[in-house]
Amino acid sequence: MDLEKLKQWMEMAQKYQNGNFWDAIFDQFMDTPEQNPQKYPMGSKASRPSTKFPLADIYLTDTQIMVIIELPGLQKEEVQLSLSGTKLLVKGISNKPSVSGSPILTERHYGEFERVIELPEAAEHKDVQAKFVSGLLFVTYKRRYTRHENIPIL
C-alpha cells in the first residue's frame, strides 16, 4: 500500500473515531525530514501529514472563553460551525490551488476536514459568537460560572 492510499484511509478512518486514535497509532512509526535527514534527502517529496487540522487555541478569562481556529486560505462561506454542549464542530473544504509543476514539499491540508474541539465549559448556541478575520475564526462565549462557590458540609 503506497503512502498516499494509507493517508486517505487514515483520514476516512479518523471521521469514524473520536480523539486522536489513529494519529497516536501511526505517529510512533512516522518521522520527519528534520528528524531523519538520511531518509529524506533535500528535495524529497516525502512529508509528514499534519496530526490536527484545523489548528486551534483556547483562551480562558474571568468572563469568557475564546477559541481561535486557524483556517488559512478559506473564506467564511466554506466553513461550518456547530455546537453540542462542550463539543465544537468545525468542518469544511479546503480546495487545492491550481498550480502547475511538480510538488517538492506538501504540508498543507487539502480536501474535506472535520474537527471536534472539546471546550472547557459547556455553551449554548445562542450565547456563542463567531467572527472570521484573515483566515482566523474567533469563537467566543461568556462563562456561566466565573468563580467557585463554597458549599457547606453538614
| pLDDT for position 50 | 43
Least confident range of 2-16, 17-31, 37-51, 62-76: 37-51
Same domain, 123 and 82: yes
- The pTM of the whole model exceeds 0.75: no
Same domain, 93 and 39: no
Same domain, 69 and 90: yes
Same domain, 119 and 94: yes
Same domain, 9 and 37: yes
Same domain, 42 and 56: no
Q: Which residues contact 115 (CB under 8 A, 6 or more apart)?
A: 52, 53, 54, 56, 89, 90, 91
What DSSP state is assigned to residue 5? H
Distance CA 79, CA 99 (A): 23
Distance CA 71, CA 135 (A): 5
Q: Is 58 helix (H, G, I), strand (E, B) or coil?
A: strand
CATH number at residue 141: 2.60.40.790
Distance CA 119, CA 114 (A): 16
Residue 151 lies in a domain: no
Same domain, 43 and 57: no
Q: Is residue 15 pLDDT above 90, yes or no?
A: no
Which residue from 7, 97, 101 is spatially nearest to 47, judged by alpha carbons? 7
Residue 153 lies in a domain: no
Q: Is residue 137 pLDDT above 50, yes or no?
A: yes
Q: For the chain, what is the domain count?
A: 2
Least confident range of 46-50, 53-57, 142-146: 46-50
Q: Which residue has the higher pLDDT, 98 or 32?
A: 98
Kindly report the average pLDDT of the chain as a whole number.
Answer: 78
The pLDDT tens digits of the residues spanning 79-124 come to: 999 999 999 999 999 888 888 888 888 888 888 999 999 999 998 8
Strands (E), 2-147: 56-60, 64-70, 79-84, 87-94, 111-118, 129-133, 136-142
Residue 56 lies in a domain: yes
Residue 142: give the domain boundaries.
52-98+107-146
Which residue from 125, 106, 120, 115 is spatially nearest to 79, judged by alpha carbons? 115
| pLDDT for position 91 | 94
Least confident range of 6-10, 36-40, 53-57, 89-93: 36-40
Same domain, 67 and 124: yes
